[in-house]
Amino acid sequence: MELATLLAALEQEPKHIYSSDALNMHSSITALAYDSRKVVEGGLFIAVPGTHTDGQRFLGEAVRRGATAALGDALQGQSAPLPYIEVADVRIALANLACAFYEYPAAHLCTIGVTGTDGKTTTSNLISHLLEATGHRTGLMTTANFKLGGQEWENTTRQSTLEALEVQQMLRQCCDAGVTHAVIEATSHGLELQRVRGCNFDIGVVTNITHEHLDFHKTLAAYRRAKARLFEMLDPQRDKGIGSRPTAILNHDDSSYEILKPYCSVPILDYGIDTPASVRAVDLQLSANSTSFRVIFPDAECHVETPLVGRFNVSNCLAAIATAYSQGVPPADIAQGLATVTGVAGRMESIDEGQSFSVVVDYAHTPDSLTKVLGTLRPVTQGKLLIVFGSAGERDIQKRPIMGRIAAEMTDFFVITDEDPRDEDREQILREIASGAEVQGKREGKDFLCIADRRKAIEIALKRAKAGDTVLLAGKGHEQSIIIGREKLPWDDRRVAREVLRESL
């Protein structure tokens, strides 16, 4: 694509072009890259500032790899070794360029954004499943997995919402593969950092909004405001000519309902269990292996039986049900789809190596999600309930003692361990979590242990478990790595649990 064509897509004209005499506006740009290691001959390098480094530091490498030009914020005390285009907001520019380079794929798809603190991945997968069960072709981008053209694979990037360049690239692949609906997990980071800009969302879905990511957003109000961006992006005048119906799907049971409602200019379809809602679940029957409930729609009702367990999964199902219903999927087809749904990797995933106790791996890493998972496991546990968990370094520190308190109140024994300590003091993170348990009268060595090494923590918890007990390994879920310092080491709770169980049998 011609450089001039790309730059014409910017919402704001470039502020300045350095070395403009060497810049050929008619040059053909072969690729976009914000990672200098991925620059190719004839490419455009976007120098994005990051948490630990700045793309401007890699302008020299971009030149060596054959970049035609670079684009970014104002140069910081250096001259550019190649033509450099200064813009007011590099992240908005990256999204604009990505949309143009991939020829605005969202204009040809029904795009569905799913946000919330907990349940986003499960809800996104449920929406994809319900749509596919009724003949639609879907693309899917979540924390745990991707789906495209009938193929599914795990997300090993450690990014819940990919950068705008990858999002638009996958949307283009969706178009090329004949996909009709693209379901995108839209995190608060992804919304705040413009990663989903240009997705032209037709449907916005929220699961809930609780305490999380205050390390990044600083306040709960700012965190909520970031989530609200998804609903501001919904345009009642948007008509892609594909039959999509712009809709906001809100959780009437959650405090987010009143917070998000003012940001919605499209019709709202609310869902709930405890409050009157347009799509409501009643007559819940919860068991250890399945869940059933009746769904009341504005003009119909149906009975749902699903292998998903827990009250929180009823709420996730309702979010997906409301989304499918808003797009014209009949209630009978919705019920049939939920009957055949399978679980998401690392979400309430059972590990069975023939042991006499239950082992469950779950991604729960917030106070609310931990409370819900433990609340689901307690009634179906005959013996004691044990948990291995931690809290990520360089992330929300305010939740650490809260999670320690939850473990103290809801389990019989727990081991506090590494999640992703990053560059923080590992032992200090454990102490901050433990402080919440100690306030509840729990004593280290008697009621809980602090063991930074996650493998040793899992080994001790599993060796302590007896017949009828349940051991929850929380916080990592599907993840394939653990970050210690700046090093990303191979890791999988499920694999480690199986190895330890096999060694002990």
CATH code of residue 370:
3.90.190.20
The verdict on whether residue 120 carries a ligand-binding annotation is yes
Residue 210 pLDDT: 86
Residues 123, 53, single domain; the answer is: no
Residues 328, 253, single domain; the answer is: yes
The verdict on whether residue 36 carries a ligand-binding annotation is yes
- Write the burial class of residue 272 (CB in 10 Å: 0-12 exposed, 13-18 middle, 19+ buried): buried
Residues 355, 311, single domain; the answer is: no
The verdict on whether residue 117 carries a ligand-binding annotation is yes
Question: What residues make up the domain containing 57?
Answer: 3-101
Residues 241, 259, single domain; the answer is: yes
Which residue has 């605005």 as its token pair? 104
The verdict on whether residue 116 carries a ligand-binding annotation is yes
- Domains in the chain: how many in total? 3
Residues 200, 215, single domain; the answer is: yes
Residues 360, 490, single domain; the answer is: yes
Residue 160 pLDDT: 85
The verdict on whether residue 195 carries a ligand-binding annotation is yes
Domain contains 344: no
Domain contains 372: yes
Domain contains 396: yes
Render each residue's pLDDT in the chain as its tens digit; 505 residues: 999 999 999 998 999 898 866 789 999 999 999 999 999 999 999 999 976 778 999 999 999 999 999 999 999 877 889 999 999 999 999 999 999 999 999 999 999 999 999 999 999 999 999 999 999 999 999 999 999 988 999 999 988 899 999 999 999 999 999 999 999 999 999 999 999 999 999 999 999 998 665 666 578 889 899 999 999 999 999 999 998 889 999 999 999 999 999 999 999 999 999 999 999 999 999 998 899 999 999 999 999 999 999 999 999 999 999 999 999 999 999 999 999 998 888 999 999 999 999 999 999 999 999 999 999 999 999 999 999 999 999 998 999 999 999 999 999 999 999 999 999 999 999 999 999 999 999 999 999 999 999 999 999 999 999 999 999 999 999 999 999 999 999 999 999 999 999 998 7
> Of 186, 144, 139, which is closest to residue 161 (Cα–Cα)?
186
The verdict on whether residue 275 carries a ligand-binding annotation is no
Domain contains 278: yes
Residue 377 pLDDT: 96
Residues 131, 253, single domain; the answer is: yes
Residues 292, 201, single domain; the answer is: yes
The verdict on whether residue 30 carries a ligand-binding annotation is no
Tell which of 282, 314, 339 closes a domain.
339
Q: Determine the straight-line distance between the first and last CA of the chain, rounded to whole angstroms.
A: 60
The verdict on whether residue 187 carries a ligand-binding annotation is yes
Domain contains 216: yes
Domain contains 71: yes
**SS3 of 350-409:** ECCCCCCCEEEEECCCCHHHHHHHHHHHHHHCCCCEEEEECCCCCCCCCHHHHHHHHHHH
Domain contains 380: yes
The verdict on whether residue 306 carries a ligand-binding annotation is no
The widest CA-to-CA distance across the chain, in whole angstroms, is 76
Tell which of 276, 310, 339 closes a domain.
339
The verdict on whether residue 5 carries a ligand-binding annotation is no
Residues 290, 379, single domain; the answer is: no
Residue 189's CATH number: 3.40.1190.10
Residue 23's CATH number: 3.40.1390.10
Which residue has 């839209």 as its token pair? 186
Q: How far is CA 33 from CA 30, 93, 157, 488, in A?
A: 10, 13, 16, 22
Residues 308, 290, single domain; the answer is: yes
Tell which of 55, 74, 101 closes a domain.
101
3-state SS class at 437: helix
Residues 380, 321, single domain; the answer is: no
The verdict on whether residue 161 carries a ligand-binding annotation is yes
Residues 54, 170, single domain; the answer is: no
The verdict on whether residue 159 carries a ligand-binding annotation is yes
pTM: 0.91
Q: For 306, phi and psi rounded to 5 degrees?
A: -140, 150
